[in-house]
């Protein structure tokens, strides 16, 4: 069982920056790939970025490449999402999620498929004003 808690959301002006954290707990939490997803009002939840259990691989949605950076500190069981050059269209509830995958498969990159993630946090609101 893995528990995830997001923090760091808030209101920021367009062009600004915001950092999110995902605190994970559980006996084998460091084995999990962690993904960030977001859901805007009236829209489906979408993939943002993900990082493998050992930080060996990352994957970004095209809409955030070059602006967002994912990282993790397994000693602290925390995954970070640094968001720069924010746009109003980045406004959404941001969720982190855990997928036990590359630890066993040896794949270089984490999944971007929502249904493959087994555990989810409660989400944190990010609002970007124009």
How big is the chain by its Cα radius of gyration, in Å?
14
Tell me how long the chain is: 130
pLDDT at 40: 97
Q: Could you give the CA distance from residue 100 to residue 97 in angstroms, rounded to a whole number?
A: 10
pLDDT at 128: 98
Q: Could you give the CA distance from residue 26 to residue 56 in angstroms, rounded to a whole number?
A: 21
pLDDT at 116: 96
For the stretch 42-77, pLDDT in tens is 999 999 999 999 999 999 999 999 999 999 999 999
């Amino acid at each position: 069982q893995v528990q995830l808690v997001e923090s760091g959301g808030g209101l920021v002006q367009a062009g600004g920056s915001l950092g999110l954290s995902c605190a994970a707990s559980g006996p084998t939490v460091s084995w999990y790939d962690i993904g960030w997803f977001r859901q805007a009002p009236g829209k489906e939840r979408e993939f943002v970025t993900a990082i493998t259990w050992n930080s060996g691989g990352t994957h970004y949605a095209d809409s955030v490449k070059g602006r967002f950076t994912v990282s993790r500190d397994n000693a602290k069981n925390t995954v970070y999402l640094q968001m720069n050059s924010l746009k109003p269209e980045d406004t959404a509830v941001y969720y982190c999620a855990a997928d036990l995958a590359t630890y066993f498969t040896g794949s270089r990159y984490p999944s971007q498929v929502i249904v493959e993630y087994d555990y989810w946090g409660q989400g944190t609101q990010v609002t970007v004003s124009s």
